Structure 1
Amino acid sequence: MTRALIADDEPHLAQYLKDQLQQLWPELDIVYVAKNGIEAAAQIAALQPELAFLDIQMPGLSGLEVAQGIEGLTRVVFVTAYDEYALQAFEHAALDYLLKPLKSERLARTLDRVKTALAVQTSAEPVSPDARLSTVLQQLLQAPQAQINQSRLRYVRAAQGALMHQIAIEDVLFFHADDKYTVVQTATAEHLIRTSIAELVAQLDPEQFWQVHRSTLINLRYLMSTRRDENSRLFLLMKHHARELPVSRAYIHLFKAM
């Protein structure tokens, strides 16, 4: 029986992946669910599972660092919220990866490839993991942070009360910094994240998201109208949201053509 480990610092996402795996591959034995990179590395070394699903961004050790430290024959499937920087490298090295939010069709295709790879591995002489994996991991771990930041964020994990939600970036009306948190406003609800506006600016598509205030970042897809008051201050009205958003003077020039 093939054994697998899941590592993700968001318990509900780990559980979702586990549920999907049990549906698509009932024979797969999930031997451990790790909450961080350090725990994942320790359990991979102890249990030596044939397969590990590693979230790239985890506290303690990243999924990349965990994979780099694997000394056995555990094969890795990376799980990532970031697109370009990871996918180009993984495709080039013929590695498996999953993008968040997870889709069952994509997971099914990954599992088909994994089963084929494991079948070849068990029928051949034991070998160390693909050398290309180590090469790609070294390149990614040594990449400048600016290069990583150029990757586009595709979704955010945001809190609403005690629950965590996966929110697709295209569904966000705007982000607004509020004390210790940043509000993620959708058409139906407010959610909270700890990511700062500056960090979001670096991770989002500048053609879709404009910073209009030191504390506000809007999705142009939902911009409905602009209004100037008697003091020439500019305000924005967003679709699906009643309250106007102020534009600071430093960003008024963005709307001169409107």
Structure 2
Amino acid sequence: MKTTALIAEDEALLAANLQSELVGLWPDLEIVAIVGDGRSAAREALRLQPDMLFLDIRMPGMTGLECAEALAEEWPEGGKPFPLIVFVTAYDEYAVQAFERAAFDYVLKPVQTPRLEQTCARLKERLKERSPDSSVPASLGGIVIQMRELLAAGSPQPAHLAQDSAPLRIIQASVGNTISMVPVDDVLYFEAADKYVRVVTAQREHLVRSSLKELLQRLDPQRFWQIHRGSVVHCDAIASAQRDESGKLTLTLREHPDRLVVSRLYADRFRGI
């Protein structure tokens, strides 16, 4: 069977150039789809289950990193092996720091033939060594977190968050004409809810008009752990982590009846000592 690949790149000329280069370097490689945004990449990857993905890190709607997160959570158990991922980036310093020692490769835009040739050689070797199971590589979660931090470092902070770089201490939640001051220490978990984030404490919950991605930039990562692309939990609020027969992890909280599911991408956080 032919080796298959999907290209996700929002600039049509760059996508066409990458396809042309791959065809020249790897004649037996079949490009099964070329898409221009992360949501389409995730949808088509789940449908076509290619052997590898070339994901532009910055794409509209859903970035390449968010696409990788979504696939890690939704990749079917017992299906084809999780695809090898090559991140495509115009930011050399990000790529070098994040991928130099990882089991993922990267190529810089515009694509250079010698560098892409190295990537193809590595991919061919990894395809030979790849396990037939569908498990998500353990290092993917760390790569996503590290890349998100690097990319966020140069992004402007939203106006409704504090202006300095220190971790948030207070969240201002508006309801009508009232603004509730919610100490971050009281928050048990955050959950994405469309254009809002649910802020859940032991006593009540609030909605703030923000994205979880924006909040993550201001939370202390030692205390607030991302456990799913849509949820972040205060580590002190976790009472236990239970794994079922299929390997799915669920968290029980100390002061709240809600139970939180941990995605495969972040399951590596929970290991017995």
TM tier, shorter chain?
Answer: 0.5 to 0.7
TM-score with structure 2 setting the length: 0.51
Q: Residues of 2 paired with 1:148 and 1:115: CA distance?
A: 36
Q: Secondary structure at the match of 1:76?
A: strand
Contact 2:94–2:150 (CA under 8 A) maintained in structure 1: no
Deviation at 1:143, TM superposition (A): 4.8
Aligned with 1:75 (options 67, 72, 84): 84
Q: Distance in 1 between matches of 2:19 and 2:151?
A: 33
Q: 2:128 aligns with which of 119, 122, 131?
A: 119
CA shift, 1:92, in A, is 2.4
Distance 2:50 2:120 in 1: 15
Counterparts of 1:41 and 1:129 in 2: how far apart (Å)? Answer: 15
Residue 24 of structure 2 is aligned to residue 23 of structure 1: yes
Which residue of the partner structure matches residue 51 of structure 2? 50
Q: Tell me which residue corresponds to 1:88.
A: 97
| Distance in 2 of aligned mates of 1:141 and 1:19 | 30
- Describe the shift of the 1:47–1:55 C-alpha distance in structure 2 as closer, same or farther (beyond 3 A): same
Residue identity matched to 2:133:
P
In the aligned structure 2, how far is the partner of 1:117 from the partner of 1:70?
A: 19
Aligned twin of 1:136: 143
Counterpart mapping for 1:1-258 below 5 A: 1-71=2-72, 72=75, 73-121=82-130, 124-143=131-150, 145-147=152-154
Contact 2:88–2:109 (CA under 8 A) maintained in structure 1: yes
Residues 25, 117 of structure 2: 8 Å contact kept: yes
Partner residue of 1:192?
A: none
| CA deviation after TM superposition for structure 1 residue 134, in Å | 1.7
Q: Secondary structure at the match of 1:12?
A: helix
Aligned mates of 1:141, 1:68 — CA distance in 2: 11
C-alpha separation between the residues in 2 aligned to 1:6 and 1:146? 27
- On the 8 A contact 2:84/2:104 being kept in 1, the answer is no
Q: What SS does the corresponding residue of 1:129 show, helix, strand or coil?
A: coil
Q: Residues 4-50 of structure 1: CA distance to partner in whole angstroms, max 9, x if unpaired?
A: 00000011110000011111001001000001111111101111101
Sequence identity percentage: 45
Question: Using the alignment, how far apart are the partners of 1:140 and 1:104 within structure 2?
Answer: 25
* Distance change >3 Å, CA 20–CA 143, structure 1 → 2: closer
Native 8 Å contact 1:85 1:148 kept in 2: no
TM-score (norm 1): 0.54
Q: Specify which structure has the bigger relative contact order, considering alpha-carbon pairs within 8 angstroms and separated by 6 or more residues.
A: 2
Report the secondary structure of 1:92's partner residue.
coil
- How far off is 1:145 after superposition? 2.1
- The alpha carbon displacement at 1:88 in A equals 1.0
Structure 2 vs 1, CA of residues 147 and 93 (structure 1 numbering), >3 Å: closer, same or farther?
A: farther
Report the alpha carbon displacement of residue 87 of structure 1 after superposing the two structures with TM. Answer: 1.7
SS of alignment partner, residue 33 of structure 1:
strand
Deviation at 1:144, TM superposition (A): 6.8
Distance (Å, rounded) in 1 between the aligned partners of 2:70 and 2:53: 13
3-state secondary structure, aligned to 1:32: strand
Counterpart for residue 222 of structure 2:
none
- Given that 1:41 and 1:66 are in contact with CA atoms closer than 8 Å, whether structure 2 keeps it comes out as yes
Cα distance between partner residues in 2 of 1:94 and 1:74: 12
